Amino acid sequence: MNRLKILFVAVASLALTVQSLESFGQTSKSGTQKTKTDRSIVTPVPVRPAGQKDMLAYAAPKIPLVRVGFIGLGMRGPGAVERWTHIPNTKIIAVADLRPERVEAAQKILDKNNVTRAAEYSGSEDAWKKLCERTDIDLVYIATDWKHHVPMALYAMQKGKHVAIEVPAAMNMKDIWDLINTSEKTRKHCMMLENCVYDFFELTTLNMAQKGLFGEVIHAEGAYIHQLSQFWDDYWNNWRLDYNKNFRGDIYPTHGIGPVCQALNIHRGDKMNYLVSVDTKSFNGRDEWKKMKGEDPGEFKNGDQTITMIKTQNGKTMQIQHNVMTPRPYSRMYQLTGTKGFANKYPSEGYAIGGDQLSADDVPNHEKLSAHSYVSKDVKEALMKKYKHPIHQELEETAKKVGGHGGMDFIMDYRLAYCLQNGLPLDMDVYDLAEWCSLAELSAVSLDNGSAPVSIPDFTRGAWNKIQGYKHAFVK
């Protein structure tokens, strides 16, 4: 009797958490694919409050002079302050950090660039709120530790500011939905500062993909592989290693997934349906903790290596890796596999393209092309020149001078300012933020359930197919 009762409870609770995904009825250009056995754990999707609309292709009124306030001036924030001194038609109004010495360091950047010192806020946990309450700021730029991102962004939007948030903007589903709802309600942009989508190889390759050079892109890979052992000590209050100790899953997914989502037109004609994750146990993570704290961590949740696989609505696949613990050459992977060609960034950049994809006008010796190996250096250079993205054509020279991860950080900030100044939709919307950040909690849910498939919600709540194809906005 007791056994029967237990069985009943087990079946009932399974029914609560598992939903059949048969209704996804996946379709691709090349036909339909039935996935009868898809059964995924589903997380709650809040109903959109009445009267609230989506933010797809949202354009705010033009802001000819973009007035910005910065919160978080640790290792990352000051570089942003420096970059914004080089962006035309912008003004740095205020800077904030818990630590007064970090605020002073930012002011010195302004001095060095002959820019008027900004209003400053520091010295208490909530001093940043005063920055958000100012009436002369259009954009709040947040580069604090992960736990502070969301409360700061929510408050700033509620105070009528657009927000830009460092990566990952949000670490759990509740925070992600709060950001979406607040952005939709306040009609304020909520953009994640994912710089890697502007890197030279990635943006050039996106242009090639959009022009059909690889045929249809069917599989994509991304990663964040960067041993952080030499940096743990430098994070304020040990926030980053603490987070690794306390949370399982791919907790830094956005550099890897952002650029490949753009290539796969996610929520612009396709959507991520579900993921499955595996991880190693913690080997080096535990030791890093011991080294730093001089004590055993007890449980250290984040595995040294985490791998997540994703299936999309149009029958495509993705793989994303996270490893910040073991010695490996830095890699964000960035790999696209198409029906007619292939692109790969790490560890060696290259393209493999079927000969019939290129015309004689494209590249020298095109008839020698074969998709079995990378094209030659000459052909690669000719392709990269031909497909150089208009954003790079305009900004490459200045970006390389101003710097920030080889120029991509400047391009990101410049594009954000340009779109705000011209009343254009931003390059990344709140749903990109949501999709890319959702891997943090959803991968942990998969791991905690024996690598079970976990449904990735449609964060647009029904509008993922409204826009066809990813694009950047320009003044016509």
Contacts with ligand NAD, residue ranges (CB under 6 A): 71-77, 96-99, 102, 125, 128, 143-146, 148, 166-167, 195, 235-236, 405
Q: How far is the CB of 126 from ligand NAD (least distance, A)?
A: 7
Nearer to ligand NAD, 97 or 429 (CB): 97
Q: How far is the CB of 305 from ligand NAD (least distance, A)?
A: 19
Nearer to ligand NAD, 165 or 173 (CB): 165
How far is the C-alpha of 401 from the C-alpha of 247, rounded, in Å? 38
| 11, 17, 21, 23 alpha-carbon torsion, rounded to 10° | 90
Q: How far is the CB of 257 from ligand NAD (least distance, A)?
A: 14
Q: How far is the CB of 352 from ligand NAD (least distance, A)?
A: 29
Q: Which residue is nearest to ligand NAD (CB)?
A: 74
Nearer to ligand NAD, 166 or 427 (CB): 166
Q: How far is the CB of 76 from ligand NAD (least distance, A)?
A: 3
Q: How far is the CB of 222 from ligand NAD (least distance, A)?
A: 14
Answer whether 54's CB lies under 8 Å from 184's CB: yes
Output the DSSP codes for 380-431: HHHHHHHT--HHHHHHHHHHHHH-SGGGHHHHHHHHHHHHHHTT---SS-HH
Distances (CA, A) of 220 to 25, 44, 343: 21, 27, 9
Cα–Cα–Cα angle for 338, 344, 347, nearest 5°? 155
- Provide the 3-class DSSP secondary structure of residue 157: helix
Nearer to ligand NAD, 73 or 419 (CB): 73
Nearer to ligand NAD, 228 or 473 (CB): 228
What is the CB-side half-sphere exposure of residue 56 using CA atoms within 13 A?
19
How far is the C-alpha of 97 from the C-alpha of 95, rounded, in Å? 7
Nearer to ligand NAD, 38 or 145 (CB): 145
Q: How far is the CB of 39 from ligand NAD (least distance, A)?
A: 34
Nearer to ligand NAD, 54 or 97 (CB): 97
Backbone angles phi, psi at 225, to 5 degrees: -120, 105
How far is the C-alpha of 217 from the C-alpha of 336, rounded, in Å? 7
